Amino acid sequence: MSTDTVFRRPISPTERLYFSTRELAPPFLMQLAIHGSGPIGAAELQRAVDIASAANPGSRLVRDGKEWVDSGAAADVRIVDGGSLNYPALEDDPILNSPIGPTPDRTCEVLLLTGDPVTIVFRVFHGVMDGMGVRMWAMDVFRALRGEEPLGATDPTTDADLVARLGALGRPPLVLPLFPSAAGSGRQDPAASPWLLRHRSIPMTGKGTVARIAAMLATAAGARSRFMIPVDMRRHAPGIRSTANLALPLFLDVEPGADWRVINADKRIGLQQNRELNQLDNGGLSHLPPFVVRAVLRATNWAGSRLGRNIVSATLSHTGRFELDEFSGPNFTATAVRVLPQHTGIMPLLFGIAECGGTTDITVSCRNGEGVEARLESLLDHIASTLERDLSNVML
């Protein structure tokens, strides 16, 4: 095959930073877990992954200098006989913490856990995809399982391409370590896991989940807090089919006691003003040598864990509503879809929120430290019970 027919795209400024982040917080993977019932064969799943990956070359990328290039090799399906995810302490799960295989240059992998429940996990290095990209690829795998034609995503557009096309309209906010974490801070124990990964399920869904959580976090922190809301830039180009990192952040500053409705209104205004387009390479880290970037990231982690001063109080990523039928196959019936966020090392809290089957699932990566685990568990219990109560009242 001639090189001019091979899918390739530039590694964007955002994605360059993720190489350094992976060194600080390995394996730095976004993971989409589909729990279900019914048998699914490894060979059957591998065939579906092969078909879907050919239609989504962004799932077959390897690094070639300053570009991502299609390796032509689909993600491997790795079987974990009798395996299941280690809820609730996911940070200790050896499956989720293992590197992608079979070689270090690979960027995507699929796990088949045959325990109870049967679980399929899509594992992706954040340098090649955002959350929507993972979702698009996974949906095509299940289309292939059902014998349907994958929709595919062959557009090489990057976040830098979209921003150049659409234009940034204002100045980004200064990125400074000024903000508290609702889970607090504490000296990190070298013998303990640097990060926690905890989960809660709320047996209902409703509007304003991100704003409601932001309000609770700011109040729990007791000080002005800043929240990063990833925004899918595909909304500006509805016809685009790309699995790349096309999410940029919208920042919301929230005072303790703020009403979630006001926060939600501020979020809508930010979206109307396209403020996320101002955030490409905010801070200019991608222009610095990798060793400098790594030093900055380590200093940011230290300031957060020891001084309680963070560039954001939390990232709140809502990946939308998943239809269980779209993640089911001929003999496999999905019962839950959960987003397992990556550890970053530079943010104290990263929420992965998803809705399916009338349930809101929240999985949280949290920087660990002395006293943090107990505070995190209490915080998540409060968030879950408050959401259940408030969303129940809305439904009455």
Instruction: Please indicate, yes or no, whether residues 138 and 179 belong to a single structural domain of this protein.
Output: no
Instruction: Please indicate, yes or no, whether residues 136 and 190 belong to a single structural domain of this protein.
Output: no
Q: What is the tens place of the pLDDT at every residue in 134-153?
A: 999 999 999 999 999 999 99
Per the domain annotation, does 167 fall within a domain? no
Instruction: Please indicate, yes or no, whether residues 44 and 137 belong to a single structural domain of this protein.
Output: yes
- CA nearest neighbour of 177 among 283, 317, 279: 283
Averaged pLDDT score across all residues of the chain: 93
pLDDT at position 282, please?
56
pLDDT at position 4, please?
62
Q: What angle do CA 378, 178, 351 make, to 5 degrees?
A: 40
Measured CA to CA, the distance from residue 103 to residue 73 in angstroms comes to 12
Q: What is the tens place of the pLDDT at every residue in 51-102?
A: 999 999 999 999 999 999 999 999 999 999 999 998 888 999 999 999 998 8
The answer to whether the beta carbons of residues 204 and 323 sit under 8 Å apart is no
Instruction: Please indicate, yes or no, whether residues 38 and 100 belong to a single structural domain of this protein.
Output: yes
Q: What is the tens place of the pLDDT at every residue in 166-196?
A: 888 777 788 889 999 999 999 999 889 999 9
The answer to whether the beta carbons of residues 98 and 80 sit under 8 Å apart is no
What total of structural domains would you count in the chain? 2
Q: Please name the helix (run of DSSP H) or strand (run of DSSP E) that holds residue 324, with its range, or none.
A: none
Q: What is the CATH number of the domain that holds 352?
A: 3.30.559
Per the domain annotation, does 87 fall within a domain? yes
Question: Average pLDDT in the 111-131 region?
Answer: 97
Domain range for 42 is 3-151
Going by pLDDT thresholds of 50, 70 and 90, the confidence category of residue 289 is: confident
Per the domain annotation, does 156 fall within a domain? no
Q: What is the DSSP string of 196-211?
A: EEEEEEES---TTHHH
Q: What is the CATH number of the domain that holds 99?
A: 3.30.559.10
Instruction: Please indicate, yes or no, whether residues 147 and 180 belong to a single structural domain of this protein.
Output: no
